[in-house]
Structure 1
Amino acid sequence: MDKLDHWQARVDLACAFRWAARLGLHEAIANHFSLAVSADGRQFLINPYGKHFSEIRASDLILVDADDPSTLDRPDAPDITAWALHGALHRNQPRARCVLHTHSKYATALACLADSRLPPIEQNCMRFFERVAIDEGFDGMGLGDEAERVSRLLDGKPVLLMGNHGVMVAATSVAQAFDDLYYFERACETYMTALATGRPLRIASDEVARKTARQWLEYPDFAEKHFAALRRMLDREEVEYRL
């Protein structure tokens, strides 16, 4: 297909890459974002191997098919773990339209703790109350059987905290996925900072945490307005992301 296909999807995903770099959520040329463009999720856009998050443009993103084993033979092929993990996710979780995987600092720190639960100590933490799946079965890089195993762990939740690894966020749009990634990292940062004081935590009740999580879900157009603001800033300062 021509690189002009799915242009708005490309622009949105490129925006997410640029902002992940700006916010320090990236890991140079490692980590990967994808966006399904077919109804069954099997055709999706993903970043090619070797591009730094801060330089990715809409036209750099490659369109691949989760069922095509020759993908890794193409000159602009994705990273091998990106192909395995995202291919498995889009095959097995067709409702997960946008999948963002990072090793962001605070989420990864939480993934290193023996107890990787995020307690409801403030509003951002409460947003994810009972909405995070935790993988405690890390078995090496996300290749082969490991990618298939990981792809089945979300269980309808937007966030998969990958023990000993990092974080994966899945949503119906780039805007929602990026908003979840951003606020989950903020929540983890607050929690890890609070833990560092060594003082007792003020943990909300399950009832209050559920109420607050529901209020977040009902907040009108929050993710879309957040992402629109990010696009506007890039349009002023790094408009080449759209190329």
Structure 2
Amino acid sequence: SMYCVRSRLLRVKCFGILSQTRPNQRPTDLLAANFKRSRSNMVQTDIEPPSEAQVRLDLAAAFRFVVHERMNEGIANHFSYQIESKAEGHSRNAMIVNPFGTHFANVTASKLAKIDIDDETLYRFDPTSPPPPVDPTAICIHGAIHKLLGRRARCILHLHPHYATALSSLKDPKLLPIDQNTARFFNRLSYDDGFDGMGLGDEAERLATRIGENSAIILGNHGVLVIGESIGGALDEMYYLELAARNYMTALMSGKELSILSDECAEKTAQQWDAQNQVYAPQFIAQIRELLHKKEPEYKD
């Protein structure tokens, strides 16, 4: 698959860089120095996007993984991938997203909906009519962000995971660098404090502006949203954001003084994350697919 090719290319690049390691030089420092830093899942402009079939497999795998990690919430929250873009020469703007009313554990590749983002009839919700094919809030937020941010937001994940949502509910939700997971997001996490109910208004435009150059944003009193060019990269970012929030909130609950890393150490650690994620993210989603192939093979249906 394209992700396997991408993974192999990145490994070759990393091994070539690591062969230049000098005595007393850490390999991760060399990687961080050689990879151009990007805050949106290391956009690879020389790599063609995956096929629709691959997108469906990876997105279905992402839904199933989130269930295993207990990061989902009822039949709410949404993952989407823009499969067609007018900005890239397609005739329409279309995305693949979870259908209305489907629990993440029941998502399969074929159940995922493919919709025209510009179809205004999908933006309306009428309780007296049959259920819509896709939750209008997903179209309002995801559809608009896909179009506003383009390729760097090809994949959008939105969740209300336990610890990250608890963090978003604090008066000061800033995630401080107290370990390597929290340091991953040092100067790489955006914040929004404009929660005003369900996202059926201009929330998407605000979030697209607030996220800036980063790939993750804490939605005040709401949850989190992550963008990325690839599904694997976005899922890896979402997963570690929840782990980082868990570590941070648990430390806060101890009531003891936090041992906060220096800015220099936190930035160095974040750059090391930036470098290794280019290799880890494609492998991460590949391993999830392999596990599901053994335990829940129906995800591919």
Listed one character per residue, the Cα deviations across residues 80-115 of structure 1 (whole Å, up to 9, x for unaligned) are 211111111111111201100000000000000011
Query: 1:9 aligns to what?
Result: 55
Q: Match of 1:58? A: 109
Please name the residue that 2:36 is paired with: none
Q: 1:84 aligns with which of 127, 140, 144?
A: 140
Residues in 1 aligned to 2:273 and 2:207: alpha-carbon distance in whole angstroms: 27
Q: Conserved in 1, the CA contact under 8 Å of 2:80 and 2:156?
A: yes
Pairing of 1:115-194 with structure 2 (within 5 A): 115-194=172-251
Counterpart position of 1:43: 94
Counterparts in 2 of 1:110 and 1:75: CA distance versus 1, 3 Å: closer
Report the alpha carbon displacement of residue 145 of structure 1 after superposing the two structures with TM. 1.9
Contact 1:89 1:152 in 2 (8 A): no
Aligned to 1:236: 294
Q: Which has the larger radius of gyration?
A: 2
Greater shift after overlay, 176-185 or 5-14? 5-14
Where 1:152 maps in the other structure, the secondary structure is: helix
- Separation in 2, partners of 1:179, 1:146: 25
One-letter amino acid of the structure 1 residue matched with residue 77 of structure 2: N
Q: What is the TM-score normalised by the length of structure 2?
A: 0.76
CA positional deviation for 1:136: 1.1
Offset, 1:8 = 0.8
Q: 60-69 or 32-41: which moved more?
A: 32-41
Contact 2:123 2:140 in 1 (8 A): no
The reply on whether 1:197 has 2:259 as its aligned counterpart is: no
Alpha-carbon shift at residue 181 of structure 1 (Å): 0.6
Q: Is the CA contact 1:72–1:78 (under 8 Å) kept in the aligned structure 2?
A: no
Give, in whole Å, the separation in 1 of the partners of 2:249 and 2:211. Answer: 23
Letter of the structure 2 residue corresponding to residue 10 of structure 1: R
Task: Say whether the 8 Å CA contact 1:92–1:152 is kept in structure 2.
Answer: no
For 1:79 and 1:198, the matched residues in 2 are separated by 40
Partner SS state of residue 58, structure 1: coil
- How far is the alpha carbon of 1:28 from its aligned partner? 1.7
- The answer as to whether partners of 2:190 and 2:210 remain within 8 angstroms in 1 is yes
Distance apart, 1:26 and its partner CA: 0.5
Which residue is equivalent to 1:226? 284
Give the alignment partner of residue 20 of structure 1, picking from 45, 66, 69: 66
The answer for the alignment partner of 1:32 in structure 2 is 78
- TM-superposed deviation, 1:154: 1.2
Shift of 1:72: 5.0
Letter in 2 for 1:7: A
* Contact 1:108–1:164, Cα closer than 8 Å, also in 2: yes
Question: Hey, what does 2:28 align to over in structure 1?
Answer: none
Report the more deviating stretch, 84-93 or 187-196.
84-93
Aligned length: 239
Distance 1:226 1:127, change over 3 A: same
Kept in 2: contact 1:17–1:53 (CA 8 A): yes
CA distance in 2, matches of 1:163, 1:135: 6
In the TM superposition, residue 149 of structure 1 has moved relative to its aligned partner by: 2.1
TM-aligned CA distance change 1:8 to 1:76, over 3 Å: farther
Gaps of 5+ in 1: none
C-alpha distance in 2 between matches for 1:146 and 1:227:
29
Instruction: Give the 3-state SS of the residue equivalent to 1:37 in structure 2.
Output: strand
Structure 2: distance between partners of 1:48 and 1:77: 6
Q: Percent identity?
A: 45
Instruction: Tell me how far apart the structure 2 counterparts of residues 75 and 145 of structure 1 sit (CA, whole Å).
Output: 23
Tell whether the 8 Å contact from 1:176 to 1:224 is kept in structure 2 after alignment: yes
Kept in 1, the 8 Å contact 2:122–2:136? The answer is no
